[in-house]
Structure 1
Amino acid sequence: MPNYRPPAAPEGTPAKASLPAGTALYRVHSARRAAGSFNPVPSHCLYGGGRFDATSCDPYGYLYAGLTPAAAVSETVLHSLPFDPAGGARLVPRAAVTGRRLSALRLTESVDVVALVTGPDLAAVHQDGWLVQAEARDYPYTRDWAHWIRGHTDPWAQGFLWSSKREPGERALILFADRCPAGLLAATGEAPVDFATPEGRGVLDEILLPYRARLAP
């Protein structure tokens, strides 16, 4: 359960991290959408949705990504996937990757994001690891905290950066369309990895292997 409601205002100064122009971002996304497209649809305040999605309480376009392919895959297809008590590989359901692909993007200019990586980073927004480690049942509350943090970092915070829950050694991020300039995200020239193809499934299994996971037959 969430530990408490956000205070009226932060006592400290939220930590800022800058991602320079040229930074590579990786996304697992629907093959029907362009890799650099922001999701314009707010999630329900209480049901469904992701950790820091927009809601009707704070509508904004949003885009999740990882700083490495492993972070992007871990944050999506390994979400809430338990280990096999018998020691076998975790099996990623085919439905989890149907119609999806892994794409690479790059920043065309630098962006400033709220850092939620270290203990002091989280304490600066009156939080601890719960904010970035909570499971989906608590996402209505993490979304409420996201709106509060956005409100107190307006206009400079163009997104958040945190340690991936499934790959703590890598970083995940969200970008906010209402604070990012047009053309911020550009293609890198790398071909997308389409999980519908045998080649794409092979790449996915290579990424999953160190996590004791693979795509289900």
Structure 2
Amino acid sequence: MPNYRPPAALTGTPEKVTLTRGTLLYRVHASRHPAASFNPKPSHCLYGGGRFDATSCDRYGYLYAGLGPAAAVCETLLRSLPFDPTGGPRLLPHRAVEGRRMTTLRLTADLRVLPLMSARDLAAVHQDSWLVHAEAQEYAYTRDWAHWIRRNAGPWAQGLVWSSKREPAERAVVLFGDRGLAAELPADAEDVTDFDTAEGLEWLNSVLAPYFVQLAP
């Protein structure tokens, strides 16, 4: 459970981080959707959804990405994937990657995001590591906190950036489509790796191997 409800007002001063033009973003996404498109569909206020999704309480387009390929893969595919108690590799079902691809996007404009990486960053928004480490059963609360942060930080905050829960050495980002951004992120596709191809699966297995994960036979 969260440690407490958001306060009435933000009394801290969050930092501002600029994702400069040319920054690479890595997305694992459904092949049927453009890599640079924001998800326009709000999640349910209580059930399902992601950590910082929009809901009917705060509607906005949202787009998740990693600032490195491992963050994109781990955040998307390794959520709550348990280790084998016998010591074998963790098995990722093929259905988890069917119809998916990795796209590398290069930003064509600067974006300003609010960081949630250090204890000082989190304290500035009255939180601690729970906000970025909570598991899926608590995402209704993390979404509520994201709405509160957006409302109190102001329109300059075009997204949030934090250390990936599944790969702390890399960062994850969520971008908000209602903060000076259109339905499409200002970015060009640099590279695409399709997981429905033999080459794509070979690449994916090479990324998964250091995490003791392999695609199920």
For Structure 1 versus Structure 2, the TM-score category normalised by the shorter chain is over 0.9
Alignment correspondent of 2:14 = 14
**Equivalent residues in 2 for 1:65-144, closer than 5 Å:** 65-144=65-144
Tell me by how many angstroms 1:187 deviates: 2.3
Is the CA contact 2:106–2:188 (under 8 Å) kept in the aligned structure 1?
yes
Q: Which amino acid in structure 1 is aligned with residue 63 of structure 2?
A: L
Alignment correspondent of 1:185 = 186
Match status 1:150 vs 2:150: yes
Q: Which amino acid in structure 2 is aligned with residue 181 of structure 1?
A: L
Which stretches of structure 1, 4 residues or longer, exceed 2 Å deviation after superposition? 180-189
Tell me by how many angstroms 1:184 deviates: 4.0
TM-score (norm 1): 0.97
Alignment correspondent of 1:208 = 208
**Equivalent residues in 2 for 1:32-71, closer than 5 Å:** 32-71=32-71
Work out the CA distance in 2 between the residues paired with 1:53 and 1:75.
Answer: 14
Alpha-carbon deviations, 1:82-135, whole Å to 9, x = none?
Answer: 111111111111111111110010111111101000000000001011000000
Shifted more, 94-103 versus 156-165: the winner is: 94-103
Is the CA contact 2:37–2:185 (under 8 Å) kept in the aligned structure 1?
no
Work out the CA distance in 2 between the residues paired with 1:130 and 1:154.
Answer: 23
Q: Partner of 1:200: helix, strand, or coil?
A: helix
In structure 1, list runs of 5 or more residues that go unmatched. none
Work out the CA distance in 2 between the residues paired with 1:140 and 1:164.
Answer: 19
Work out the CA distance in 1 between the residues paired with 2:185 and 2:77.
Answer: 26
Is the CA contact 1:109–1:184 (under 8 Å) kept in the aligned structure 2?
no
Work out the CA distance in 2 between the residues paired with 1:189 and 1:138.
Answer: 35
Work out the CA distance in 1 between the residues paired with 2:10 and 2:154.
Answer: 13
Q: Partner of 2:162: helix, strand, or coil?
A: strand
Q: Which amino acid in structure 2 is aligned with residue 86 of structure 1?
A: T
Alignment correspondent of 1:5 = 5
Alignment correspondent of 2:162 = 162
In structure 2, list runs of 5 or more residues that go unmatched. none
Work out the CA distance in 1 between the residues paired with 2:91 and 2:10.
Answer: 42
RMSD: 1.0
Percent of aligned pairs with the same amino acid: 65
Is the CA contact 1:14–1:121 (under 8 Å) kept in the aligned structure 2?
yes
Work out the CA distance in 2 between the residues paired with 1:77 and 1:181.
Answer: 27
Would you say how many aligned residue pairs link Structure 1 and Structure 2? Answer: 216
Is the CA contact 1:75–1:165 (under 8 Å) kept in the aligned structure 2?
yes
Q: Which amino acid in structure 2 is aligned with residue 179 of structure 1?
A: R
